[in-house]
Structure 1
Amino acid sequence: MSDHKNVNALTAGGVLVSLGIVFGDIGTSPLYTLKAIFKTAKLIAEGPSGLAGNYITSDLVLGALSCIIWTLTLQTTIKYVIITLRADNKGEGGIFSLYSLVKKAKWLVIPAIIGGAALLADGMITPSITVTSAIEGLQLKFHSVKVVPIVIAIIALLFIIQQFGTNLVGKLFGPIMFLWFAALGVAGLAQVIHDPWIFKALNPYWAFKLLASNPGALAILGGVFLCTTGAEALYSDLGHCGKQNIRVSWIFVKTMLILNYLGQGAWVLKNTSYDPHVQNPFFELVPAGLVIPMVILATTAAVIASQAMISGSFTLISEAVRLNLWPKVRINYPSVQKGQLYVPSINWLLMVGCIIIVLIFRKSDNMEGAYGLAINLTFLMTTVLVAVYMLRKKFPKYLIVIFVSVYVAIELAFLVGNMAKFVHGGWVTLLISCALLSVMWTWYNARKIKNRFVKYVEIEDYYTILTELSNDISVPKFSSQLVYLTSANFKTEIESKIIYSIIQKEPKRADVYWLVHVDVMDEPYTMDYKVEFLIPGKLIRIDFKLGFRIEQRVNLLYRKVVEELVKNGEVDITSQYTSLNKHKIAGDFRFVLLEKHLSKFTNLSFYERSIMDYYFVLKRLSLSEVSSFGLDSSYVDVEKVPLIFVTPDDIELNRLAV
């Protein structure tokens, strides 16, 4: 717990780590952003005739640079670095952490899962475009080099090593990214010192002039948006670096990025015959003898950016699982590094997605159309959730209105600009986002439907019969200690299905009956528990309050609590069998899990039936509850129960006379 508090302290090491973890995605955007803008401008200039003429003008270059600089200022600096980082959930960030802070209103799950799904879809395109853009620099020296096989090999290797943990190489991320940002700044500065007038682009006038006078302004905005696509990572990685370290390191990062963009702009103005389909102004800043080292450094930075996105996807899914927004999947912890996860199913899903995207689009130019549209939706959803957070924290109303008005307007403008990319590849990431969204929406709603049919009974009504059953030697003993997982939030209630399982389905005599309830808290790292002795020595309830980032290893947590209760003399788990009791041998433990299935007699609407059918398909593909709760299968009985019991009262029969 202290580690998560200490990470917020401002340290030189923390600043260096944040360079490696937080800024990889936004730090590699100079590889393709200006190229994408000028490619769009050229297409607009060509029009139906296909003849562009001299489309490079000082208004276009200064306007594009001004749009980038003020997007980085308004979108990244003010919205994320200054405002959104304030919404930390006990030191943790990200769209699901933010949702956990504000999820009092049920409708807020909609922006949360839209943003989460879009962020995951972005995780497929980020490695593809960044690595491809970097490797394409090789073609400046080796014109015939085959980019696609190299990119696929790098991406495959990147995903394969995830299972072994990235603790060792992760220590190098900070220094390498510091070198990368320094190289960006130096390359840009070398060009800018010869053309210092390019600093006129700092004036927002040029951005307004470009957007007001250019008929394709919205399409150009779609390219401008690429400069800030990594802003969400600032917030997602809050828990790894702390807000102070992120804020301080951003000053250096933003300065280096702006210098590089200005340098690229100055080069373009000196080379007005520049063709964005053939040349990349980023690599044109680099002296010929340093192109290969720069390509190597750019590729390394692209891999680091991809690694940050992959790690962020793993964290996102683990949070979604705890919040019941994603099917239960296997989550591994490959190293001792704090917060490092490995989710095999997501890892291979992302790898296949990245490789398919590379094979479909083949060039970074083509990928630019697929990039940005999905993450734009995440930005909008974050704006909605941050506005609700500001309301909860009682920010002045006028500030909330200004925040919402400004950022909804900006992000809707970007969205309209990005929609122009739909037919050029944007449909790919939207399709992926919709597929991921359907999984989250189904899993969330299926749980609501199931909960509607869960019938609870007063547990006090069964105290006498449970006590008598426990002492009834005519019933074969099922287990010394019998454990049920219950979803009942109150100690006075219990699911009728549990009572049915104990008393009727197969009478289960035990020395002690245990009810275990897991409550997922809105805070990330809570690990509390409470014990209620409902029938002293016979029926005991344990309530675990676990943060949404805590692994729900119920087996280990339950045994830990039992050990403490035994140590304190609050419970006796010694076997009651005479031969074992005299040797003080502990009794056996047995877990019973009730697995619901959908009866064909269940009366649901077409929509709800479709949701449940999809849910049970996903459930078959997901991790079993035995594995997800960390239970030893040799100590678990799984009983299938129908989602809805059909009673004789529901059936009408006519008796015929003999």
Structure 2
Amino acid sequence: MSKININRVSLASLVIALGIIYGDIGTSPLYVLSAITRDSIPGRFEELIVGGISCVIWTLTLQTTIKYVVLTLRADNRGEGGIFSLYALVRRQRKWLVVPAMIGGAALLADGIITPPITVTSAIEGLRQIPYLHRFLPENDPAPIMIIAITIISMLFFVQQFGTDYIGKLFGPGMITWFLMMAVIGSMHLVDSVSIFKAFNPYYAVRLIIDYPSGFWLLGAVFLCTTGAEALYSDLGHAGRKNIYWTWVFVKICLIINYLGQGAWLLKQHSAGTLDLSQNPFYAMMPQSFRIFGIFIATGAAVIASQALISGSFTLISEAIRLNLWPKMKIKYPTEEKGQVFIPGINTLLWVGCLCIVLHFRSSDKMEAAYGLAITLCMISTSILFANYLIGRRSKKRWVVLYLFVYLLIEFSFLGANLNKFPHGGYVAIIVGGILFGVMYIWYRSRKIKNRYVEFVRLEHYIPMIQELSNDKSIPMYSTHLVYMTSANNPKEIEHKIIYSILNRKPKRADIYWFVHVDILDDPYTTEFSVEHIIPNDIIRVEFRLGFRVEQKIQLMMKRVVEELYANKEVNITSRYDSLERSNVAGDFRFIVLEKFLSTDNELPFSEKLIMRCYFWLKRISLSEERGFGLDPSYVHVEKFPLIVSPSRNMNLKRVYPRGEEV
């Protein structure tokens, strides 16, 4: 898979695109019509079905096709997509754009917790429509379905640690089978009621929203047909824009045929007086002899949809970590495939979240209440960020205004309709998304608070003292090469705490002092470095310029830099100890990590104090600084350093003398 050029359209790349990006939106026919017909009104059933499917068709057209496939996919960050890739393109325009980026990221993660339960449970519930399984799966007992769903979900999360390189090769053919099955079954029922073709006229969608008693609130059910559109954009880097263009035509045709087929079948059953709304129309319209195979294929598609959301969540968090919007976490790369990551902590979080969703809601129809509400916030955030992208590209103002007006109107309408779900389970999605947003906000805001009080000094003022220390034989040698990580963007500056660590806190004599700075860029995969010899063979600054999707393996990168400098005779890495120097032994390297803690000598406003306390709590349970930079702990010395962001000044202290005399 990794050897296929996704930037070119080929049969192999099209199959891969089908397998990677359409799992979520492709499984929506499992539950959309069930959600729309759940609260049907007697005497107005045809109006509901025709209008509901018209809403689905035009939602797929306006929201998925035009907004995402035609427009948003153009905002690629060197071939990569997703809310954080889009944010990286526009974050230097306006600082407040970080807020919609964090809201969108949190909402997408919340969606990743709800998608596996609803898709897998919806697929498994089809077993109830197999006559000879009724005795094992009674309608009033959700436990058997829950057990099967929990087992499948648990197995899915278990295999994440091994990577999905080989499993992923089956996704494309699996999804082709799924879409073809939907199209064939849907087309078998298109002539059941030819009035269903009126759904192509948007008049019936508007009429449903305005005239039907609960028409506006039905948008919450309609919205389920497009929940995978955001994931489609996030997987741009795995499929390529041209492949998405071509495959979406096929996918949309299959989806619409199936929706029309379900609608025509429902109208026929209603007119014949044999309609049973307790049955899922997706399975009910299948031939009885094929139904068990259809359920098997649907379950496979549900697993693929879940896998896509899980992999997308790993990528999303890894991007957030690089952009300093999430605490550092352990990241593994189970295969050599580009972009494939595994984050054990997030895997556990998603697994526990999915199990809680299944145990709490117990059936897919109740899960629908929690599904869709959070993702509308993500789509609104994408609209805001994309509008700023258009502004940055100097698009005409009237087009930007038109884009915002149309899509904010559509998405706020969906949000309003989805708010009706809040008391029925939507609160779960909001709580989950709110917690995830809170983590991002605390991590981002605490960094801003710290940066207000970070003290930088001119390095040139301390160079003579560092050189004297390096040559002072009365002080024991601390290390041949001493490496500090610095956040100073200006190569002529350095944090005061680093100077304090070298000169004041147990003076550290070394032959060469290295100051290493990592600059995270707005493009995804840049790996560059530059070297500045401040004092040749004494003080050297190395700056790494890394893309926001590049793993920060600083120790390995430093080894590569030192090897190149040594080969070019720019640095002498031989140990300066007489006995070792004669044998041409390379000197040792020691990394110093300054780990901050919140000093009690602080006076902060209550809100900032709360943020900083939460920050240090998150820091304790997240990955350590040295592991976050990819450093071997055996080469690292950690120094505790007090963070005094707002020193206390009001201290009433007076001196008293013996005998009580006061001066």
**TM-score, normalised relative to structure 2:** 0.95
Partner-residue secondary structure (3-state), 2:208: helix
Preserved contact between residue 210 and residue 216 of structure 2 (Cα < 8 Å): no
Q: What does 1:598-637 correspond to in 2, within 5 Å?
A: 598-637=598-637
Q: 1:15 to 1:307 in 2, by over 3 A?
A: same
CA offsets, 1:245-285, max 9 Å, x none? 01100000000000000000001101125767511111122
CA offsets, 1:216-273, max 9 Å, x none? 1221000000000000011000000000001100000000000000000001101125
In the TM superposition, residue 55 of structure 1 has moved relative to its aligned partner by 4.5
Q: 1:620 to 1:424 in 2, by over 3 A?
A: same
Where does residue 453 of structure 1 map in the other structure? 453
CA offsets, 1:149-191, max 9 Å, x none? 1001000000001001111111010011001000000000010
How far apart, CA to CA, are the structure 2 residues paired with 1:403 and 1:24? 27
How far apart, CA to CA, are the structure 2 residues paired with 1:588 and 1:192? 75
Say whether residues 1:83 and 2:76 are aligned partners.
no
Where does residue 188 of structure 1 map in the other structure? 186
State the number of aligned residues.
645
How far apart, CA to CA, are the structure 1 residues paired with 2:70 and 2:432? 31
Partner-residue secondary structure (3-state), 1:217: coil
Say whether residues 1:432 and 2:432 are aligned partners.
yes
Say whether residues 1:128 and 2:109 are aligned partners.
no
In the TM superposition, residue 395 of structure 1 has moved relative to its aligned partner by 1.2
CA offsets, 1:596-629, max 9 Å, x none? 1101111211001000000111001101111111
In the TM superposition, residue 653 of structure 1 has moved relative to its aligned partner by 3.5
CA offsets, 1:69-116, max 9 Å, x none? 000000000000000000000000000000000001110000000000
Say whether residues 1:351 and 2:367 are aligned partners.
no
Say whether residues 1:236 and 2:234 are aligned partners.
yes
Q: What does 1:47-196 correspond to in 2, within 5 Å?
A: 53-56=42-45, 58-104=46-92, 105-141=94-130, 142-143=133-134, 144-145=136-137, 146-196=144-194
How far apart, CA to CA, are the structure 2 residues paired with 1:251 and 1:451? 49
Where does residue 252 of structure 1 map in the other structure? 250
In the TM superposition, residue 194 of structure 1 has moved relative to its aligned partner by 4.3
Where does residue 34 of structure 1 map in the other structure? 33
Partner-residue secondary structure (3-state), 1:271: helix
In the TM superposition, residue 305 of structure 1 has moved relative to its aligned partner by 0.2
Where does residue 528 of structure 2 map in the other structure? 528
Partner-residue secondary structure (3-state), 2:189: helix
Q: What does 1:391-402 correspond to in 2, within 5 Å?
A: 391-402=391-402
Where does residue 586 of structure 2 map in the other structure? 586
Partner amino acid, structure 1, of 2:121? T
Say whether residues 1:16 and 2:15 are aligned partners.
yes
How far apart, CA to CA, are the structure 2 residues paired with 1:66 and 1:457? 65
Partner-residue secondary structure (3-state), 2:490: coil
Partner amino acid, structure 1, of 2:36? I
Preserved contact between residue 36 and residue 276 of structure 1 (Cα < 8 Å): no
Partner amino acid, structure 1, of 2:95? K
Preserved contact between residue 5 and residue 91 of structure 1 (Cα < 8 Å): no
Where does residue 141 of structure 2 map in the other structure? none
Partner amino acid, structure 2, of 1:134? A
How far apart, CA to CA, are the structure 2 residues paired with 1:138 and 1:422? 29
Preserved contact between residue 127 and residue 295 of structure 2 (Cα < 8 Å): yes
Preserved contact between residue 268 and residue 274 of structure 1 (Cα < 8 Å): no
In the TM superposition, residue 562 of structure 1 has moved relative to its aligned partner by 0.6
Partner-residue secondary structure (3-state), 1:216: coil
Which residue of the other structure, out of 215, 219, 226, is the alignment partner of 1:217? Answer: 215
In the TM superposition, residue 199 of structure 1 has moved relative to its aligned partner by 1.7
Q: 1:275 to 1:192 in 2, by over 3 A?
A: closer
Partner amino acid, structure 2, of 1:89? N
Preserved contact between residue 370 and residue 426 of structure 2 (Cα < 8 Å): yes
CA offsets, 1:465-522, max 9 Å, x none? 1111111111111000000000000111000000000001111110000000001000
In the TM superposition, residue 11 of structure 1 has moved relative to its aligned partner by 1.7
CA offsets, 1:17-73, max 9 Å, x none? 111000000000000001101113x2xx3xxxxxxx4452x2221101100000000
Query: Please, what is the CA RMSD of the aligned residues?
Result: 1.5
**For structure 1, which segment, 446-455 or 65-74, has the greater mean C-alpha deviation from structure 2 after superposition?**
446-455
Where does residue 323 of structure 2 map in the other structure? 323
Partner amino acid, structure 2, of 1:206? Y
Partner amino acid, structure 2, of 1:642? P
How far apart, CA to CA, are the structure 2 residues paired with 1:439 and 1:645? 21
Partner-residue secondary structure (3-state), 1:604: coil
Where does residue 508 of structure 2 map in the other structure? 508
Q: What does 1:532-611 correspond to in 2, within 5 Å?
A: 532-611=532-611
How far apart, CA to CA, are the structure 1 residues paired with 2:38 and 2:364? 12
In the TM superposition, residue 647 of structure 1 has moved relative to its aligned partner by 8.2
In the TM superposition, residue 197 of structure 1 has moved relative to its aligned partner by 3.8
How far apart, CA to CA, are the structure 1 residues paired with 2:477 and 2:216? 73
* Aligned-residue identity in percent: 55
Partner-residue secondary structure (3-state), 2:478: strand
Partner-residue secondary structure (3-state), 2:483: strand
How far apart, CA to CA, are the structure 1 residues paired with 2:190 and 2:531? 68
Partner-residue secondary structure (3-state), 1:601: coil
How far apart, CA to CA, are the structure 2 residues paired with 1:468 and 1:248? 67
How far apart, CA to CA, are the structure 2 residues paired with 1:484 and 1:497? 11
**TM-score, normalised relative to structure 1:** 0.96
In the TM superposition, residue 198 of structure 1 has moved relative to its aligned partner by 2.0
Partner-residue secondary structure (3-state), 1:218: coil
Preserved contact between residue 128 and residue 358 of structure 1 (Cα < 8 Å): yes
Where does residue 140 of structure 2 map in the other structure? none
Q: 1:78 to 1:570 in 2, by over 3 A?
A: same
How far apart, CA to CA, are the structure 1 residues paired with 2:404 and 2:456? 43
Partner amino acid, structure 1, of 2:640? K
Q: 1:32 to 1:353 in 2, by over 3 A?
A: same
How far apart, CA to CA, are the structure 1 residues paired with 2:648 and 2:432? 46
CA offsets, 1:270-324, max 9 Å, x none? 1125767511111122100000000000000000000000000000000000001
How far apart, CA to CA, are the structure 1 residues paired with 2:58 and 2:70? 15
Preserved contact between residue 134 and residue 302 of structure 1 (Cα < 8 Å): yes
Q: 1:425 to 1:646 in 2, by over 3 A?
A: closer
How far apart, CA to CA, are the structure 1 residues paired with 2:325 and 2:169? 32
Partner amino acid, structure 2, of 1:638? V
How far apart, CA to CA, are the structure 2 residues paired with 1:110 and 1:183? 42
In the TM superposition, residue 656 of structure 1 has moved relative to its aligned partner by 2.4
Where does residue 263 of structure 1 map in the other structure? 261
Partner amino acid, structure 1, of 2:245? R
Partner-residue secondary structure (3-state), 2:290: helix
Partner-residue secondary structure (3-state), 2:14: helix
How far apart, CA to CA, are the structure 1 residues paired with 2:573 and 2:291? 71
Where does residue 50 of structure 1 map in the other structure? none
How far apart, CA to CA, are the structure 2 residues paired with 1:62 and 1:194? 13
In the TM superposition, residue 648 of structure 1 has moved relative to its aligned partner by 11
Partner amino acid, structure 1, of 2:224? L
Partner amino acid, structure 2, of 1:16? V
In the TM superposition, residue 453 of structure 1 has moved relative to its aligned partner by 1.3
Partner amino acid, structure 2, of 1:131? V
Partner-residue secondary structure (3-state), 2:217: helix
How far apart, CA to CA, are the structure 2 residues paired with 1:76 and 1:228? 6
- For structure 2, the 5+ residue unaligned runs are 138-143, 659-663
Partner-residue secondary structure (3-state), 1:630: coil
In the TM superposition, residue 440 of structure 1 has moved relative to its aligned partner by 0.3
Partner amino acid, structure 2, of 1:428? V
Partner amino acid, structure 1, of 2:77? N
- For structure 1, the 5+ residue unaligned runs are 46-52
**For structure 1, which segment, 343-352 or 143-152, has the greater mean C-alpha deviation from structure 2 after superposition?**
143-152
Partner-residue secondary structure (3-state), 1:516: strand
